[in-house]
Amino acid sequence: MKVHQLGRGFWEQQEPLLSLGCKRLRPLAPKLHSNFTDTTTTVSSFDLKSFIRPDSGPRKLGNAPSNENRHSPPVETHPGGTRWNPTQEQIGILEMLYRGGMRTPNAQQIEQITEQLGKYGKIEGKNVFYWFQNHKARERQKQKRNSLGLGHCPRKSAPISPLTWDTRVEIITDREEDSPYKRKCRSWSFEEEEISRSSSKEDENRTLELFPLHPERR
């Protein structure tokens, strides 16, 4: 309906490769071909052009000295705020929860936390998710660094200081409750980034984009 040429072109281009795949023995499954060849027609309904390297593949040097031109699109990339800037209230709550033992909140918890934290500033679920991940990791490495650097005594992390004590409490709680690899089923949703970089730089109430993905598992 929308794309004819482009989509078709790509698929036809790729198809030989795919059939090649059938020719050269594939590791798995010569693949009973149902209406797969029909795929070409069906699948062509989305724009494949954007799939294969959406950007022209600029090699981004991490330490590039060029101060200008930080991003691939020269300008107007991120209209408003780029990254989450937590408020004191939000940080406070998060730390509190962390200290309470929360390490990797599940989807439901994230949803609720986000909802609450949203009262103190813009926030999304992924921010909460990231925060816990980062905080956890950084506490961990902080502890490691402390245990290694503070003298040589492998005994305890440190004698007793407010900071150390506080930290240790968190860590211990952490250790106690968090097991590596507890299975948690998380469903994600994705968002396109710079499609319609429309207009105003003013921030508005960017509503938190959370939703109940599976209201229930049927």
Partner DNA sequence: GCAAATTAATGATTTATTCAAG
Partner DNA sequence: CTTGAATAAATCATTAATTTGC
**Interface contacts to DNA, rule CB under 7 A:** 26-32, 60, 62, 70-71, 78, 81-86, 91, 103-104, 126-127, 130-131, 133-138, 140-141, 178, 180-186
Nearer to a copy of itself, 81 or 151 (CB): 81
Compute how many other C-beta atoms are within 10 angstroms of the C-beta atom of residue 50.
13
Residue 57 interacts with, from DNA, a copy of itself, none (CB under 5-8 Å by kind): a copy of itself
The distance of closest approach from Cβ of residue 148 to a copy of itself in the complex, given in angstroms and rounded to an integer, is 18
Helix/strand/coil (H/E/C) assignment for every residue in 139-152: HHHHHHHHHHHCCC
Nearer to DNA, 45 or 85 (CB): 85
Cβ proximity of 12 and 40 under 8 Å: yes
Nearer to a copy of itself, 62 or 152 (CB): 62
The distance of closest approach from Cβ of residue 157 to DNA in the complex, given in angstroms and rounded to an integer, is 8
The distance of closest approach from Cβ of residue 3 to DNA in the complex, given in angstroms and rounded to an integer, is 25
Through-space distance between the first and last CA atoms of the chain, rounded to whole angstroms: 33
Nearer to DNA, 152 or 201 (CB): 201
On the CB side of 168, CA atoms within 13 Å amount to 13
The distance of closest approach from Cβ of residue 10 to a copy of itself in the complex, given in angstroms and rounded to an integer, is 7
The distance of closest approach from Cβ of residue 206 to a copy of itself in the complex, given in angstroms and rounded to an integer, is 6
Residue 85 interacts with, from a copy of itself, DNA, none (CB under 5-8 Å by kind): DNA
Which residue shows structure tokens 């970089």?
A: 197
Interatomic CA distance for residues 168 and 160, integer angstroms: 10
Nearer to a copy of itself, 61 or 152 (CB): 61
Give the H or E element holding residue 97: helix 88-99
**Residue 44 corresponds to which tokens in the numbers above?**
């062509």
Q: What does each C-alpha distance from 161 to 141, 157, 158, 167, 201 come to in angstroms?
A: 18, 11, 8, 10, 46
Residue 136 interacts with, from DNA, a copy of itself, none (CB under 5-8 Å by kind): DNA
